[in-house]
Every structure is written in structure tokens, then in C-alpha cells.
Amino acid sequence: MLGLARLLNGPLGHSHSLPSNRALWAVSRQRLIGSKPRATPLDGKRYKTIEAGDNKTGHIEAGPNEGIFFLSNVFPLKLNFAMRLPFIDPEKLVPQMMKQLKNPEYAAADPQNIAERVLPSNLPIHVTEILPRVAEGGAFVKFSHEPQNSLMDLEKAIKKYLKENPIKPWFNPFQRVRTNLVQGRPWVEDLYRVPSSRLKVEFVPTAPGQSAEELSQETLYSLFRRYGKLIDIKPQPTDSKELPKCAYLQFNKARHAIMAKNCMHGFVLPASEGGGETGTMLKLVYQQTKKVHWIWDWLSSHPRIVIPLLLAFFGTVTVAIFDPIRTFFIKAHVTHTFHITDNGVYKWLRSQVSRATDVLKISRKKAEDAGLSAIWDDRKDDIEQIQTWLMESADTFIVIQGPRGSGKKELVLDQALKGRKNTLVIDCKPIREAKGDSSTINAAAVQVGYRPVFSWMNSISSLVDLAAQGTIGTKTGFSETLDAQLAKIWQNTTNALKQIALDGRKKEDKDRDLGDDEYLEAHPEKRPVVVVDNFLHKSQENAVVYDKIAEWAAGLTSTNIAHVIFLTNDVSFSKSLSKALPDRVFRQIALGDCSPEVAKRFVINHLDADADEGGGPEKKPKPSETREDLAELDECISTLGGRLTDLEFLARRIKTGETPKKAVREITEQSASEILKMYILDSAPRKWSAEQAWLLVKLLAESESLRYNEILLNDIIKPGGEATLQALEQAEMITIISSNGRPTSIKPGKPVYSAAFKQLTEDHVLKARLDLAILSELIKIETQSIDKVEAELNLLGNLPGAPKQTKGRVSWLLGKLWASQDKVERYERESAGLKKVLQQEY
């Protein structure tokens, strides 16, 4: 007796070429599976069955005394993806691959051996054909039997045998091989259909022109429950017009649905069992199950729970992943880790280039340094004071206040902090001038080296928050305000600064037992320095940025993490800083303009900087010694003042060959044009009027200083009052001098503005035009006053009996009416004269 494995691996057990190019798996040598060998009438003949059925009809025909079993769990079910691969025939390739398993441990798991082991040796049947179904993970076994043997008895015998001797293949050791008798006419199509656990059962008539019976759920259950656990049976809706009528069976496993489909397709339910008059045929096809999105449905149905959880998860991921990266980049920015200017090779190349450019006299930087040396000599005490404060262990909150161009930044960075490592400079100007929240966040991040920064997420999160508000009725807090975003940047910067301050600690230090806070308090020299430049720049528009910076700086100093130095032009800085540190006294240095002696030395040193570079044996005379026009310098400096920016501009002009007087004259003309454009003729919205600015120009051209309270009483200034004067001070047109904490006097914003004011008032046409505007405004004010007086007089005159108590009030009103009318007449006469000037002059 030959084994089934030998039978299937015989010389005819390989493929044959067919027009359809489909694989054959034919059995040429058959044997009777029984207790002893017997001869069979199939020996020496070929019987072939292709995967598309007999003669490619898609069906397997079973004649008299023949039957078909379907074996499941013979092939891995996941191999159905190979059906869509080009140039691969899974029905041919997979069985051949499975036959290559020659390992003794897997020999019993060979699908061919499985087919042999399924059938007990004492079963009186002849195996005629085996058709593998790789896509469905099984195989059909066609056999012949003796007439006296019932197919149902054979099925029971095989099932009993498999139950007592379970076969579990190596690719699915948790499920055994199952078999059932094919009761219908199996459809072995080779379409690209993936098996599923859901079947569609169509009820079709057994012959054309006849009707089919729609089976009940009970009947379907009795027919299909034997093949596996049913989850649900859904009949076709009663109002559905779809034909043929159908029902849907949902099995708990795909292999159970595969078994039912292959065994019951084409089964005819007779009339005796509820199939109607002529019987009902069952047609089964796989119905792809719609994935039940119960998780998504639950998530979308509970936004009040899900959205906060998502936010918490997103925040946790952000903190865990991105915050350490951002802290690293901030540390690199403060310590200049990636700055090319601190690289040794770059420094060497720069020195070589500097030597080469000495021939070309490119020494602008040296000239500036030489000029500033005179300033630093004069401010040596301020420099030493700042350095002393940085060495103290107490909270270091330093404010350097001075007008724009007074050299605050150069004093701190180039002198007081010269050679000091770990310095962070934050320029508030680009942060304040950024348009929109995203740009502001980007600008703040650039100043401290905070990256990566997802400023665009602020807009997206706002949309998400708006959508959530429409869904759940409340905001989720996903979108954050500008101050919250800035607080994140400052918090990461704080962590980076603290790590920098503690980087120098070693285990062998004497104070190794101190905590971090005690160590930082005991070692002020280890703390980095934060320089906040342009503090309160345009602070009148929106102070939220400055409030956050002040609070952050206060936290740095109170925890001894860093020294903080503020550089500001605003004289009212204490109002903003006192909110953050109400119980602390600021260490303040006020920088003013240079004295005439220092200013003159600054210009001369700037001129003589190039002469010091001569390397010849004969020392060349300095430019200040050869130029005769420098005698004008004293007069020019008295006009120009001691503002560093103006002095440097003067030195450069003199250096190009201009005389000091001509240079000052051009600087004054430029300043006059600047005043006219910025404060008087500009039509942009502002907190002062052109008449108010021109009035101050006229008064300051006549006097170097004005009484603050007297100006507030002026009819032109009175409508805006102190707000107008403060706005002009912020715009740097004027400077308000305070004494004992209160404003006392008003001076020009820059010394050169005094000469510029005088130059503007000497322009008769301009003066006439603007004075006429002032007179028109005064006439308007007096006319309004007259209208009020006349209205009150009219009211008093209509009182019955003319009470004597109103005589005093009437007399006072009449006097005021006369005074206002007298002013109006005087203003009209002056206006007439100004109009003649405008009509006669250009």
C-alpha cells in the first residue's frame, strides 16, 4: 500500500502547461486507503483538476458513488495576499514550497501529509483527486466509495477520527485541521476575492421561471451552525427590492465561514425541509465585513473626556521630547558653542586677513575703538561699579538708563562684561515690532536660541479650540495666549541658565555638600549675565511683552540663577519693574551726554586712529595736528552736544574732509528735517497734534528749558496734558527732567535739537503756516468757550423776574465773554498777517 505523500509526490505530481497558465496538481497514482493493500482501477491513468474547476467551469463535479471533503487549516490563511502579486501563481508556488520542508520536526506538518493523515487507514474509500485552495487555506479531496457506504457515515467516521487524533499544522498550532462533507456544488473560482467571516446567502430557484423560498433564521441556523459558531444572522429587510432575496451570516472566525461556503454553495434545500414547492438553491459569496469603528465612535462621542486626555498626552510628549532639545540649543546659544567667531581656525584666518587689509587702511573698527576710549576713560567709575555689582552675592538687578545714542550697550557689553563668558543678550526691539503673535513668538525664540519653535501651531490650535467649543460648548485650552507661549520660552531659558551656572561644580569641591540654590548664592561669579536691551521700546502700545520679561528677570535674580542688566531709554522704567520686584531697590546708572572736553577728545581720537598705524621710522604728524579747521571744534561741539551718535557722525564727516562747521550745519539740517517729518508733518495716528509739537519747537528754540507745569497750562497743550508730553518724550523729541520724583522741566530730546529747533523757526513760510494752524486752534477753543458762555447767559436771561442773585454770575460771564472775544479778534489780526506771508513768500 502506497502512502498519500508518495502518491502526491509521484512522477506525475508536477504541473502541466494549459492555455490558462494555471497550476495543476494532479494525482496519477492512487491507492485505496484501507487496512491492507488492494489494486485500484485508477493505476496507470492521469486525472487532473485545475483550480478553476473541471474544464475551467468553476465547479467540481462528483458522479455516482463519489464524494468531496473539504479540509481547512491546510495552508496559512494570510497567504491570500499573494493572489494580487504579478508573475506569481500561489496555487502552484505555495504547495511546492510547502513540500520543501524536509525537516523531520515538520514532516508531519506538510500539507500533503496532513491530507493523508486526515483519512483513517481503515476507511473504504478511493482518493481520486486533491485540489488545493491556497487563498482559502484548505483543499478539496475527491474520492469514490462503495455503493453500500453512506457519505454521512464516512463523514462521521472521519470527524471522530480527527477528534481522537487531532492534527495541528506548524503555522497554526492552536487550531486543528477540520473537515466536512461537501453537500452542494462547490464553486472553486479563482477571482481576487479575499475570504472573510461574513457570508451572503442568496436564495435562488432551482430552475428558470420558478420561485425561491426566503429561508427563516431558524432554518439557516440549522443548516450552518455545524460549520462553526455564528455571531449573527441578518435577513434581508422586508422593504428591500433587491433580488434575489438573501441573508447575511456572521461567523466568529473566517475559517468557519470558508468551510460553510465551500460545503454549502449550490446546496438545494428540498420542499420537505422548507425550500418551497420546487426547492431553493443556496448561493454563497464572501461579504467583506465593515470594520466596526467602535473605538473611534466612542472617542468621537465623548469629546469632553477625549480632548483633555489628548491635550495631556500632547503636552507630555512635547515636554518629554522637545523641551530637552530646546534647552540644549539655548545653552549652546548662551555659551557660543556653535559660534564660528570663537573657533580657533576662524580667529587665525581673521588675523591673516586683518594683516592683509592693513595696506588698504581698512580700520573703521579701530577708529571707533580709539574714539570710544575717551568715553570709557570718562565713565571708568560706572564700568567698575557694574563689575563690582556682578561680584556681589545679593540679588543683582541693574538698570542702565540713558537716551538713545548714549552708548549704554557698548558700555555694558564691550567694557563691563568684556571677556566674560556665558552672556545672553535679549533685544526687545524686534520682539516688540513683530506683527502678530506668531512673529512675536519667533522673534523671542531667536533672541534666546529657542528651537525648534512651532509658532504656526498657535494658529492651528486656535482653530482646533474653536471647533471644540462648537462641539462641547466650552474651550479646551488647546490654544494658548501670547503670554503663555512667551512664558514657555522664558521657562526653558531659565532651565538652561541654571544648568550653565551649575556646570562648573565638581565632586572634589569644598562646597560639594551645598544644594544648588546655596551654591549659586555663594558663587555669584558662576552666574551667567542676561542683558535686556531696548527695554520698554514702544511700551505705550502694548506692555504684555515687557511685563513677562520683567517677571522672568525678577525670578532669575531672586533665585540667584543669573545677573540681569536692563538697558532702557525710558525714564519711567521703575513703573514697569516695580510690578515684578515691588520690594527691591534697583541698582541704577544714568548715562547722560558727554561733557564738552570728553566730546572733543572723542572726536580727536577718532580722527587720529589711522595715524597710529604707521610703521615707518619717521613718525607722521596726526591729522588733529595738521588740520587748521579743528579750531572750530569747540564751537561746533557746544552746538552739537555730547550725544555719542552725533559725535561719531561729526568725526566721520570731518574725516572725509569737511570742516567742523559745515559738518555741524549738515547734521543740524538733517535733524531739522527729521523733526519736521516725524513730529509735525506726519499724518499717521499719534497721541499729539502737529500744533502741540510745533508749539514746543517754538518755545524750546527761544529757551533751553521750559517749566513743566507752565506748559501744561497752555491752551494748546491742555487738551492732551501729560499724556501728550509723555508721548513726545517716548518719541525722543523732548526730554522731561524730574526732581524728587516729579517732572520739573522740559528740554530737547537731543542737544542738536536745540539748533534744529532754531533753524526751523527761522523758516518764515513754515513758521507762518504752523503758527496759523495754532491760531486757528486757539480761535476754535475760544469760540467754543464763547458758545458755552452765551448758552448760560441765555439760560439766566430766561429766568422769571431777573433774580438779583444772578447778577454776579452774569457779570462774570460777561467778563469772560469779553476776554474770549478780545482774544479771537487778536488771533484774527495775527492770522491776517501770517496769511500775507504765505501769499507773498515761497
pLDDT tens-digit readout, 300-335:
788 778 877 877 787 677 667 888 888 999 999 998
The residues that bridge with 159 in the sheet, in sequence order, are: none
Q: Is the pLDDT of residue 101 over 60?
A: no
190-204, 246-260, 342-356, 402-416 — most confident range:
246-260
Q: Is the pLDDT of residue 621 over 60?
A: yes
pLDDT in tens, 712-771: 999 999 988 899 998 898 888 999 888 877 889 999 988 999 999 999 999 999 999 999
Residue 300's SS3 state is helix
Confidence category of residue 27, pLDDT binned at 50, 70, 90: very low
CA 543-544-547 angle, 5° bins: 85
* Conformation bin of residue 55: beta by default, left when phi > 0, alpha when psi is -120 to 50: left
Confidence category of residue 633, pLDDT binned at 50, 70, 90: confident
Residue 108's SS3 state is coil
Domain boundaries, given as residue ranges, for the chain: 4-181, 198-290, 317-362+393-590, 363-378+594-654, 659-762, 773-840
Side by side, the strands of the sheet bearing 280-286 are 230-235, 246-251, 198-205, 280-286, 268-269
The per-residue pLDDT for 8 is 33
The per-residue pLDDT for 231 is 93
**Widest CA span of the chain, in angstroms?**
153
34-43, 124-133, 274-283, 622-631 — most confident range:
274-283
Q: Is the pLDDT of residue 546 over 70?
A: yes
547 vs 303, which has greater pLDDT? 547
The per-residue pLDDT for 460 is 59
Confidence category of residue 16, pLDDT binned at 50, 70, 90: very low
pLDDT in tens, 522-537: 888 889 999 999 898 8
517 vs 256, which has greater pLDDT? 256
Least confident stretch, 147-156, 203-212, 339-348: 339-348
> How many CB atoms neighbour CB 536 within 10 A?
26
Q: Is the pLDDT of residue 57 over 60?
A: yes
The three grid cell numbers given for residue 297, joined into one nine-digit string = 465612535
CA 420-424-427 angle, 5° bins: 130
Look at the block and give the residue holding cell 473626556.
305
pLDDT in tens, 564-603: 999 998 877 888 888 887 777 788 898 888 888 888 888 8
| H or E segment and range at residue 747 | strand 742-748
Q: Which residues of 240-258 are buried (b: 16+ CB within 10 A; e: fewer)?
A: eeeeebbbbbbbeebbbbb
User: Cα–Cα distance between 223 and 153 in angstroms, integer?
Assistant: 18
DSSP state of 83: G
User: Cα–Cα distance between 661 and 630 in angstroms, integer?
Assistant: 9
- Region 265-278: mean pLDDT is 88
The per-residue pLDDT for 465 is 56
| Phi, then psi, of 15 in degrees rounded to 5 | -75, 160
The per-residue pLDDT for 456 is 59
The per-residue pLDDT for 441 is 87
pLDDT in tens, 658-704: 898 999 999 999 999 999 999 998 877 888 999 999 999 999 999 99
To the nearest whole number, what is the mean pLDDT of the chain?
79
> How many CB atoms neighbour CB 628 within 10 A?
7
Which CATH number, 3.30.70.330, 3.30.750.24, 3.40.250.10, 3.40.50.150, labels domain 198-290? Answer: 3.30.70.330
% of the chain at pLDDT higher than 70: 79
The pTM for the full model equals: 0.61
Residue 615, judged by CB atoms within 10 A of its CB (0-12, 13-18, 19+), counts as: exposed
Q: Are 640 and 671 in contact (CB under 8 A)?
A: no
Q: Which of 175, 107, 164, 111 is nearest to 138 (CA)?
A: 111
Q: Is the pLDDT of residue 773 over 90?
A: yes
Q: Which of 680, 699, 694 is nearest to 746 (CA)?
A: 699
Q: Which of 172, 202, 171 is nearest to 184 (CA)?
A: 202
Which CATH number, 1.25.40.80, 1.10.10.10, 2.30.30.760, 3.30.200.20, labels domain 659-762? Answer: 1.10.10.10
pLDDT in tens, 406-449: 888 989 998 899 888 889 999 999 998 888 888 888 899 999 99
- Region 114-121: mean pLDDT is 72
The three grid cell numbers given for residue 221, joined into one nine-digit string = 441556523
